[in-house]
Every structure is written in structure tokens, then in C-alpha cells.
Structure 1
Amino acid sequence: MIKKSSKIIAIDFDGTIVEDKYPEIGKPLIFAFETLKKLQADGHRLILWTYRTGSRLEEAVEFCRKHGVEFYAVNKSYPEEKFDERETSRKIHADLFIDDRNFGGFPGWGVIYQQLYGPSEDIEEILRKNRSKRSFLSKLFKR
């Protein structure tokens, strides 16, 4: 559970932040951008770690920017890193990796939030009580 120490968190794009529609950009997954903004507000460094390159990568970065999330680094461990496949590994340094290809699949941003911050109230119960995204978010992020 994240409390006070800052973490470096690597996050996949297709199937994790947005529905997997590659090479197109899918719709944002529910609570993805809200959770990412909360993580940034708490001082965590977010790295976009995706298969996308070139113009497809630029589209993804811009899509996230338009939704209020700018990453600490994109497809690298830190902003100044230069990739040279002869000298640099594509593996990046991060404390956590959030990806839809994890063993067991992507659990959803509500579950990720609870894993990082601990349960404040059962998410399924909140969803049953509150059908609107706005009321759910106001309870989820009220801390």
C-alpha cells in the first residue's frame, strides 16, 4: 500500500488506460485518468510504458495530456535517457508495473486504487449504491 514514499509506476496504454483498439485509441477505461491524476497528486512518478512507437506513441501521449495526465517519462526510465539497443536494455526501472497483460489480466482501476491506498469502502457496494461515475469518484477520492 502506498503511503508517504514516492514510487515510480510504469503503466501500459492499450488495454490498461484505454480499451485495446490498437492501432486506434480506444475509449478511456473507467477511473483510469482519475486514478492516474490521484497518483500524480500524491507525488508518484508515472512512466508510460507501451508497445507504441513513432506517431502512434505521440497520439497516445497527446491523448493522455488532453485528459490531464503528463508522464514523467515515456518508454524510458527517466526523461533524459537515450535508447541505444546495443547499450541500453528496453527494460525500465520502476517500483510497480500496471499492465493488462499481467498474470490474471487487468483487474480494473478500482481494484488498483484499493491495492495502492487500501480499502475505504467496498467498491462493489459503492457501485451498487451510486450509479453515476461522479458520485462514485467523489466518495473514492474523498481523503
Structure 2
Amino acid sequence: MNHPKIIAVDFDGCLVTNRFPDIGEPIPETLAALKREQENGAKVILWTCRRDDQLTAATDWCDQQGIHLDAVNRNLPEIVEAFGGDTIKVFANEYWDDRAVKMPPPMCADAHKYPDGTCAGYQRSNYDDEPCDRCKTCPQNEFYEEE
């Protein structure tokens, strides 16, 4: 089963400079990267603490920038189905957030699985070191390229 990449992206400090509760200036590099990911088939979840009118302003802003939001602060329907119900945490392959802390890579490919057990692949954008041997040989791994 082929799964698209899912990106959960923060609004304030990530898509725009942090001027909460106002909307800050666009961050062009993030917008360009997100649009490239969408052109390549990624699904996007807006992942923000904004609510009510402030959330509506943020989703309207995304729409005006040409960013299609597949969900806002919630899991995609296919993820809810794969988990057998909704979870409090939004599931994504990548979390784009100005306050994120990069963690060390997992020790094996077991951490690279979707809820239905299929391989999510080694994602070079998340890890600086080489993938494990299992990731290198996984037939579903579209992210690893031989040198």
C-alpha cells in the first residue's frame, strides 16, 4: 500500500513570523518548501494552538497563499481508520514547528511503520546518518537512494 507523506505544520513562527494573535509576515522558505511537498503528493495538516476567529484567519490565510489544508488540528480520515479510532495526537511523518527539537534516529526500521504495518520508509530529511540495513533493502522505501 502506498501512503502519501503527511506533514503537520505549525502556523505562528513556522508559516508566518510569530505575531500572535495577529498574523505575522510570511516565511517564504517554509511556504516554498510546503508547496513543493504538496506538488509531490504530501498531505498537510495545519497544527496550531489557534482557535475560533484566530484559527479561521489562519486557515483563510493559508487558502490565500495556495496551501491546501487536508485537515486542521485533527487526524486524516485514513489515519483514524488505520488506528481503529481517533487519537489525541495528530499523526504525521513530519512535524514542522519552530519549537521542535530534533531527536536522534531510531535504532531500527521498526520505527518506520505506518499503523497498518506497512513500511513508511527511511526519510532522509529526518535523519543525518545512514539508514539501517533493513531500510536500505525495503522494497517500499522510496526515500533511500544508493550512493
Query: Is TM more than 0.5 here?
Result: yes
Q: Name stretches of at least 5 consecutive residues in structure 2 with no aligned partner.
A: 103-123, 127-147
**Alignment of 1:34 onto 2:44:** no
Amino acid at match of 2:88: R
CA RMSD of aligned residues (A): 2.8
Partner of 2:110: none
Percent of paired sites with the same residue:
36
TM-aligned CA deviation for residue 35 of structure 1:
1.4
Secondary structure class of the residue paired with 1:115? coil
**Per-residue Cα deviation, 1:71-109 (whole angstroms, up to 9, x for no partner):** 110000126999xxxx964311111101011127xxxxx
Number of residue equivalences: 100
Q: In the alignment, residue 64 of structure 2 is paired with which amino acid?
A: K
8 Å contact from structure 2 (residues 79, 91) kept in 1: no
> Relative to 1, partners in 2 of residues 1:81 and 1:115: Cα closer, same or farther, differing over 3 Å?
closer
Summarize the Cα distance change of 1:80–1:23 in structure 2 as closer, same or farther, 3 Å threshold: farther
Residue of structure 1 in register with 2:51 after alignment: 53
Aligned equivalent of 1:73? 71
Could you say which structure has the greater relative contact order, defined with CA pairs below 8 angstroms and 6 or more residues apart?
1
Structure 1 unaligned blocks of 5 or more? 105-113, 117-143
Instruction: Give TM-score scaled by structure 1 length.
Output: 0.61
Residue by residue over 1:44-87, the C-alpha shift from the partner in whole angstroms, topping out at 9 and shown as x without a partner, is 001000000111001000001101101110000126999xxxx9
Q: TM-score, normalised by structure 2?
A: 0.60
Judging by fraction of residues, say which structure has more helix: 1
